[in-house]
Structure 1
Amino acid sequence: MTSAASAEPLVKEVRGSHCRTTLDLFAEWARVLDFPDYFGHNWDAFEECLFTTVESAESADSAGAAGSVTVVVRDAAQLLVDEEPRQLATFLAIVDTVGKGGGFSLRAGREE
């Protein structure tokens, strides 16, 4: 049996309390995940930048090890609470789609 090398995951932390609206969510995730300056602050751009972040982590290790991205959301109950429920549904659909490609996971962290 051959075992593939695996890089340490890239773990980033966002605060749900900084993501109460879609615009705040876009700003927080862009800051934490270092989205490019051209990030358009809309759902399509968010999905594209999230995919790009995961792809970059997967190809970053010159030794061929596959990296991954884990985002821990602190105060997760605050995520998009000032928005219509469909905004949270859109967010969850995007992270689900990105996660199905492998290399990405989302975790709820404890409130501090």
Structure 2
Amino acid sequence: MIGISSRVDDVVSFYRALEESDRPRAYFEFVDVEGWVDEGARALYETVEHEGELIAIRQIELPSAGGVHRYSWRRMEDAFGGLTDEPIDPHEDPVKPIPREAFVEVWNSLPHEV
């Protein structure tokens, strides 16, 4: 029987392999202008293509009330949320492309996980 921890390890390994790959990256920003979850909140995504879908490998959440949460294979989730497990579809999702530098600047300005 496969335990929960081995399945979690498989998921972490999957995202780690994608992040460490040399696949081209695409970057996106979502702004919650409709108030779906948190009006004014932003999310930034670094994605790679896998089997025809754009998979988020790093994600930054910027709640409207302040604060910041970042997710990757190193920290898949916390009490506030987690790395999306849904592909990013720029044709269907309300996201816009952003330059790599915009994502990296915010990512690098955050404290590293412990």
Q: Which TM class, normalised by the smaller chain length?
A: under 0.3
Pick the structure with more strand per residue: 2
- TM-score with structure 2 setting the length: 0.26
Q: Tell which has more relative contact order, 1 or 2 (C-alpha 8 A, sep 6+).
A: 1
Pick the structure with more helix per residue: 1
- TM-score with structure 1 setting the length: 0.26
